[in-house]
């Protein structure tokens, strides 16, 4: 037995408008805090971050901790992926419809 689904285009467009995110200062602050500020901190304090995790890896007591700390040493490097993702989210934020 086959079922046929009828798609109502008006209801689909209405649902799409409801799901589209609205603008808020919290969203913009989230984009800044999660994508741009860590990269700025990594740019200015990258060597200190690497040195801190190298010290932690030297004093770690298990293999898992050593592996984790040695991988965390790469946090001091700038990630172009995070910067690009932050820029894309910022563009998406300013293209979103107004709330209200």
φ/ψ bin of 66: left (φ > 0), alpha (ψ from -120 to 50), beta (otherwise):
alpha
Cα dihedral sign, 63-48-51-74:
positive
- 38-59 residue pLDDT tens: 888 888 888 887 788 778 777 7
**Residue 100 pLDDT class (50, 70, 90 cuts):** very low
Collapsing DSSP to helix, strand or coil, 22 comes out as: strand
Predicted confidence band of residue 82 (pLDDT cuts 50, 70, 90)? confident
Average pLDDT rounded to a whole number, residues 1-14: 76
- Decide if pLDDT at 91 tops 80: yes
pTM of this structure: 0.60
pLDDT at 12 over 60: yes
* DSSP code, position 59: T
């Amino acid at each position: 037995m086959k079922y046929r689904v009828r798609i109502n285009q008006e209801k689909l467009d209405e649902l799409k408008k409801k799901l589209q995110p609205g603008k808020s200062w919290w969203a913009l602050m989230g984009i800044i805090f999660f994508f741009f500020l860590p990269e700025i901190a990594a740019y200015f304090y990258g060597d200190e971050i690497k040195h801190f995790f190298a010290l932690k890896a030297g004093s770690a007591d298990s293999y898992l901790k050593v592996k984790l700390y040695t991988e965390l040493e790469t946090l001091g490097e700038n990630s172009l992926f995070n910067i690009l993702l932050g820029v894309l989210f910022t563009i998406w934020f300013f293209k979103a419809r107004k709330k209200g």
